[in-house]
Amino acid sequence: MKQHLYTRIFALILFPFFCAGQNTGSKKALMNNLDDFLSEFASVSSFREIGGTEFSETQATRFKEMFVENAIIFDDINASIVEDLLGGSPYQLKNKPLDEYIADVRKGFPTGIRVDILNSAIDFSRLDSNLINIVINKKVSGKSSSLNRFENNDTLLLEMIVTADNHFQIKKISMIGSNFSCANDKDNDGIIDEQDACPGVKGEMRFKGCPDRDRDGIADNEDQCPDEYGTFFNKGCPQEVFTNKYGIDLFIGFVLNTPENLILENSALAFNELDAERSTIGTLTYSSKSVSSLINGLEFSMSLDTNKTMALAIGVNYTKFSSDLTWAGFHAEYKEVDNSLVQTPFRRVLTLKQTKEHLESQYLTVPLLLKFRKRLNEKFGIYYELGPAFDLINLNSATSSVADEEAIYVYSSISGVKWTYSKNYSPSPTDWIITRDMVTSNSTGGANAYFALLQNNGFDVALDKPLSGTSEKISRIGFSGIARVGAFYMVDRSISIFAGIVYSYHFSSKKQDGKYTPIGESQNYQSVMNGVKKYNGQSMGMMLGIKYGFGR
């Protein structure tokens, strides 16, 4: 079969590197058993006998026997249909216990499903622990008992246990990628086309597939003012409902902060005559994709229209969060002067290792927002807010780092000058190269001993040198864009309680050319944030607050 040809190719490439400890016979047996296992898995996953048109209990039993007890499987075809008012897909897939998965397929697809495994790849890196991972790409389709025709092109990860006799059992199946769709719901609103009152437009299930653009509880096909909020009594057209011209919002929220796009360039480095072609900035990486924090805000707004549904607001928001940053792969070559050799210039080779920073970021944000409110009924309504903001950013950095401080003395042919420095460096047999690799390959005593001897003789070289890092405070300014959406409840005409989601994107950029070195004159590590040109990030979360309105 074609899909198992791919399996063979991947296995033949990866297998020798991860199974070097096994003999040839066990390798061959393992591969044969694995090929048989995948063939069996492809055969029984459809829950139909070959040529059959109904769900097969025999196939279901064979399928179950391929898993360990209490296995978890990602249900990539039997979707639950859930009302989604935020514009996403109403078809929800989820992980299930194996027995529940089989029961749901039996109930939802009485004629079974079709499964085509397109290709697969095998990871033997955990074979010593009797574990392997297989990534498969497959196409699944079927007609459910609810008349939905589902299909999915997905990529799944099979986590498998290798038994003592070189056989396999599946421990868990999880999704890596999915392209799930309902073939007979073209507008993807959860209502199949033949039952959809508005089949060409994505709508809501409560309106039989028709949309409600103005969110007033009346479907657009029955709303005489489909783009304006209204009431049932007024056939969907609006009326004046808000009475206060001014408002004060006080809120607290919980957000996930995702710092990103830390950009450091060679041009930011202040080394003397930096050899940019032989230097690399390396990679800055956050240890966590997102960190949580509280956000607090106070804002004052003034209405701009007669209906008092739109207002302009200004205020102040504050949030603080911590994140850990690692810096790997930094290497710089530049000119230094060796005072121990009477001002002799040499090429400094600096490599940072195990560099970590704990960053505490504080944002004091001054937003300028357009606020919109629409009432859904006498008590409830929705709001959305959008606008720019000015950021004052304070960063507290606690750092640690280890460095290799190596050196290259380039011999000079000029009379009276023994050593020299040139940015256009080409190695020469006359050079004195004091690097870990060079010393290791040419010295029987080892690089550490050689470097220690040079240090005792006054040379500024070191391997695995700890760099003390002091806590630093760094200030920046930036800008951000803020978007919010949510709902409110009117306690009375002047006081309302609101809750919603908030999203903001923060960006900070400043010219840093020739202003930064990782190691200062006192040999302390200096935070990379001193040299970063761009410091961007985004925040998203929930907020809860109270609004007080006054004035007419």
In whole angstroms, what is the distance from residue 438 CA to residue 421 CA? Answer: 19
Query: Does the structure show a pLDDT above 60 at 240?
Result: no
Pairing of strands 168-182, 67-81: parallel
Q: pLDDT tens across 50-69, in order?
A: 888 889 899 999 999 999 98
Higher-confidence residue of 264 and 252: namely 252
pLDDT at 80: 82
- Which strand (E) or helix (H) includes residue 533? none
Indicate the pLDDT class of residue 22, thresholds 50, 70 and 90. Answer: very low
Does 2 score more than 60 pLDDT?
no
Section 130-140 average pLDDT: 91
Q: Within a 13 Å sphere around the CA of 306, how many CA atoms are in the beta-carbon half?
A: 3
Q: What is the model's pLDDT at position 297?
A: 96
299-331 pLDDT, tens per residue? Answer: 999 989 867 789 999 999 999 999 999 999 999
- Residue pair 490/378 in contact (Cβ under 8 Å)? The answer is yes
Q: Nearest to residue 401, comparing CAs of 322, 326, 331?
A: 326
Q: Are 14 and 132 in contact (CB under 8 A)?
A: no
Average the pLDDT over 80-94 and give the result: 79
Under CATH, which architecture does the 2-182 domain have? Roll (3.10)
User: In 10 A of CB 111, how many CB atoms?
Assistant: 15
pTM reported for the whole predicted model: 0.52
Instruction: Provide the 10 A C-beta neighbour count for residue 405.
Output: 21
Band of pLDDT at residue 14, cut at 50, 70 and 90: very low
Pick from 211, 295, 293: which is nearest to 259 by CA? 293
Q: How far is CA 258 from CA 326, 406, 539, in A?
A: 15, 37, 6
State in Å, rounded, how far the first CA of the chain is from the last one: 77
Q: Is 346 exposed, middle or buried (0-12, 13-18, 19+ CB in 10 A)?
A: buried
Structure token pair of residue 169:
């059992």
User: In angstroms, rounded to a whole number, what is the distance separating the alpha carbons of residues 159 and 134?
Assistant: 7
| Cβ within 8 Å of residue 267, ≥6 positions away | 512, 513, 514
Contact call for residues 403 and 331 (beta carbons, < 8 A): no
Please tell me whether residue 210 adopts helix, strand or coil conformation: strand
- Angstrom distance (rounded) from CA 345 to CA 418: 10
Q: What angle do CA 52, 58, 61 make, to 5 degrees?
A: 135
Q: What would the pLDDT profile of 348-364 be if each residue is shown by its tens digit?
A: 999 999 899 999 999 99
Q: What whole-number percentage of the chain has pLDDT above 70?
A: 90
Going by C-alpha positions, the residue among 321, 261, 313 that lies closest to residue 294 is 321
Average pLDDT for 125-141: 90
- DSSP string of 148-199, one letter each residue: -EEEEEEEEEEEEEE-TTS-EEEEEEEEEEEEEEETT-TT-SSS-GGG-SST
What residue ranges do the domains of the chain occupy? 2-182, 246-550
CA dist., res. 352 & res. 433, Å (int): 19
What are the counts of helices (DSSP H) followed by strands (DSSP E) for the chain? Answer: 6, 19
Using alpha carbons, list the distances in angstroms from residue 93 to 79, 113, 478, 527: 5, 16, 40, 44
Contact between 272 and 334 (Cβ < 8 Å): yes
**pLDDT above 90: residue 110:** no
Report residue 385 CA to chain centroid gap.
Answer: 26
- Identify whether the C-beta of residue 404 lies closer than 8 Å to the C-beta of residue 351: yes
3-state secondary structure 86-143: CCCCCEEEEEEEHHHHHHHHHHHCCCCCEEEEEEEEEECCCHHHCEEEEEEEEEEEEE
Q: What percent of the chain has pLDDT over 90?
A: 40
Classify 11 as helix, strand or coil.
helix
Across the range 470-491, mean pLDDT stands at 91
**Residue 433, pLDDT above cutoff 60:** yes
Q: 3: pLDDT confidence band, cut at 50, 70 and 90?
A: very low
Cα–Cα dist 499/377, whole Å: 17
Q: Quote the CA–CA distance of 508 and 500 in Å, as a whole number.
A: 27
Least confident of 83-87, 389-393, 496-500: 83-87
- Please give the mean pLDDT across all residues of the chain: 86
By residue count, the chain amounts to 552
Burial class (CB in 10 A: 0-12, 13-18, 19+), 265: middle
Residue 78 and residue 92: Cα distance in Å, rounded? 9
3-state secondary structure of 295: strand
298 or 412, higher pLDDT: 298
> pLDDT-derived band of residue 341, with 50, 70 and 90 as boundaries?
low
pLDDT attached to residue 39:
84
Which amino acid appears at position 149 of this protein?
R
Strand partners, 81: 91
Q: At residue 29, does pLDDT exceed 90?
A: no
R_g of the chain computed on alpha carbons: 33
Closest by alpha carbon to 419, among 433, 409, 429, 428?
409
CB atoms within 10 A of CB 16: 12
| Alpha-carbon torsion angle 172, 177, 183, 187, nearest 10 | 130
